[in-house]
Amino acid sequence: MSDKFNDILNEIKSTRSVLTVFLPSTQTEVELSPLTLAQQKLIIESTSDTTLGVLFFNNIFYKILKDNLNGNIKDYNTIDRVNLTLALRQHLKDSIDVESDETVSKLLTRNKDIPYNIEPVTVTTGDFTFTVQAPTLDVDNFVNTHLLNKYKNTSFDDNKLKNLISDLYACEILKFIKSIKINDKEVNLHNELTQSIKVLESIDSIHFKQVTDYINTVRDEEAKYTKYTAEDKSIDITPDLFIL
Amino acid sequence: MIDNLIPVKLSKSEVYFREPTFYEYKNICKMLLSSDSKYISDCFNRLIESCIYINTYLNIIDKFKCIIAMRNTVLGNEISFLEDSKKITLDISILLDKEFDDTPVEYDIFTFRSPVNFYASSYDEFVSQCLVNVKGACVKDLNISQKAEILNETCLPLTDIFKQIQDQFSRRQINIFRDKTINIYNSAELLPFLKSIFQEDLNSILQFEYICMRNLDLRSADFKMYTYPELKIFLNHLNKEQQDSKQGSNAQ
């Protein structure tokens, strides 16, 4: 019986298809394995109404992409994640909702033609020079994990919620600032997060104005990839997308 | 030792079960006091595993029939209930002759049929329980965790598979009495039904056991030998003897 089980298992593994996904940041295509049933289960189980639900979903998704991507996940950023998510969803089901003719494949085709203008920038303000760039999936996951661990098992009263909002803000900035240079001394912020957050919190927020503008540009860019092609609607990149 | 084996006709085969002893029946009634669906489902599984001869693949249609047949040997064929304040007595042996739809549900390389347990703790466990065939290879004899592992390795939409199976199963209603139907795939409907027809009041059972010990001079080990109907017959004999002897002494 064990032979039969292993034979079937191996056959299923060997017949898995491979998806090809266009990634905006590199303007190249990458191979991606479709979601297995076990991975779908993980995504569905990450559905939650909690404050940290989106971070939790992104973490689960990072682990899945790490397993399924044929390439180094460190080479791709959060804008690429939209197309990767859409491709995985499209493999399961192309239509988006019953009330619309919109399909995921239409979005993916359209997304190939969206001009990609997000490049790293250097922002100099006061005594500080920030190297700012769209976060790689690796950095995004690293910061999200830090936050999830910090607020694990926390029940959110008003005070804790204020702390969380403040941490979310600091972590969002931290994701985008790769390094800070102060008086010729350069510090990489993505090595040790607790210390990095302390550094950021000690800086007058007026110096982050250009950084937050950059963050808004990147988030707006991500949103372009989720827009319907023919309607003024967008796909929400949440676990619900995979509950068919 | 030779047990009295009773046949139950299933859709494609016939299995034999041993009559549950009084001791077993009493313990089942104790277990059925629970309101936990998984526990109740496990209780019926244990009853089947313990009493059914031949280790064979049984789905919930088969198990349902086995439980009805066992109930009939322990408590008789009839159940009574109130309908519009009228007492209705129903012969539940008619359920054994009903045709249950077990049409397979095909999804890509998979074939699904009725699950093997009355209760599933999650949608993926339910799907695993229903899996019977993969790319033409029968997987009925694999255990649920092996089936789950096979399903986990595929790239098909889990929630869609679940919905399609559920959609088919939810239409499979069995008529019990007049317009009353039951869906054996709905554990919230089925388990209370099985519980209500199988369970007797525990106090009455314990009182019955006490009367048997006192009047028939039985010891606790004896209850592992005798069935509930046999003990009822013994007590009836005793009652009759006592009545006859009373009538005899009155006549003198």
Q: Give the confidence band of A151 by pLDDT, cuts at 50, 70, 90.
A: confident
Q: A136 to chain B, minimum CA–CA distance in Å? A: 27
- Which residue in the set B135, B152, B163 is minimally distant from A36, CB to CB? B152
Q: What integer is the mean pLDDT of B224-249? A: 91
Residue contact A8–B150, C-beta within 8 A: yes
Cβ-in-10-Å burial (0-12, 13-18, 19+) of B133 comes to middle
Q: Give the confidence band of A1 by pLDDT, cuts at 50, 70, 90.
A: low
Q: Which residue of B has its CA nearest to A19?
A: B155
User: Do A131 and A171 share a domain, yes or no?
Assistant: yes
Supply the pLDDT for residue B1: 76
User: Do A94 and A140 share a domain, yes or no?
Assistant: no
Q: A150 to chain B, minimum CA–CA distance in Å? A: 30
How many whole angstroms separate alpha carbon A190 and alpha carbon A55? Answer: 18
User: Do A128 and A27 share a domain, yes or no?
Assistant: no
Interface of B with A (CB under 8 A): 109, 124, 134-135, 137, 139, 141-142, 146, 149-160, 163
Supply the pLDDT for residue A215: 96
- pLDDT digits 0-9 by tens, B153-208: 999 988 899 999 999 999 999 988 888 889 999 999 999 999 999 999 999 999 99
Pairing of strands A128-132, A121-125: antiparallel
How many whole angstroms separate alpha carbon A221 and alpha carbon A116? Answer: 8
Supply the pLDDT for residue A166: 86
- pLDDT digits 0-9 by tens, A102-125: 999 999 999 999 999 999 999 999
User: Do A66 and A90 share a domain, yes or no?
Assistant: yes
Supply the pLDDT for residue B177: 81
ipTM over 0.95: no
Parent domain of A62:
2-117+225-242
What's the Cα-to-Cα distance from B148 to each of A37, B61, B72, B143, B165, rounded to whole Å? 9, 22, 36, 9, 16
A vs B: CB pairs below 8 A: 65
- Tell me the helix, strand and coil percentages in chain B, rounded to 5: 50, 15, 30
Residue contact B155–A35, C-beta within 8 A: yes
Determine which of A1, A6, A7, A12 to mutate to test the interface with B (most B C-beta atoms within 10 Å). Answer: A12
Q: A39 to chain B, minimum CA–CA distance in Å? A: 8
Percent of chain A with pLDDT over 70: 98
User: Do A156 and A207 share a domain, yes or no?
Assistant: yes
Q: Which two tokens stand for residue B225?
A: 């030998």
DSSP-based three-state secondary structure for A225: helix
Q: pTM of the full predicted structure?
A: 0.81
How many whole angstroms separate alpha carbon A40 and alpha carbon B156? Answer: 9
Pairing of strands B52-53, A177-182: unpaired
Residue contact B160–A92, C-beta within 8 A: yes
- pLDDT digits 0-9 by tens, B87-116: 888 898 999 988 899 999 999 999 999 999
Residue contact A12–B124, C-beta within 8 A: no
**What is the Cα A132 distance to its own chain's centre?**
17
- pLDDT digits 0-9 by tens, A30-82: 999 999 999 999 998 888 766 678 888 899 999 999 999 998 999 999 999 99
User: Do A201 and A82 share a domain, yes or no?
Assistant: no
Q: B103 to chain A, minimum CA–CA distance in Å? A: 24
User: Do A113 and A8 share a domain, yes or no?
Assistant: yes
User: Do A128 and A164 share a domain, yes or no?
Assistant: yes
How many whole angstroms separate alpha carbon B211 and alpha carbon B209? Answer: 5
Domain total for chain A? Answer: 2
Supply the pLDDT for residue B252: 64
User: Do A136 and A110 share a domain, yes or no?
Assistant: no
Residue contact A244–B157, C-beta within 8 A: yes
The candidate with the shortest Cα–Cα distance to B165, out of B83, B105, B86, is B105
Supply the pLDDT for residue A114: 95
Positive or negative torsion for Cα A148, A150, A154, A157: negative
Length of chain A in residues, anyone? Answer: 244
Q: Give the confidence band of B249 by pLDDT, cuts at 50, 70, 90.
A: confident
pLDDT of B250 > 80? The answer is: no
Which residues in chain A touch residue B158, judged by CB atoms under 8 angstroms apart?
37, 40-41, 44
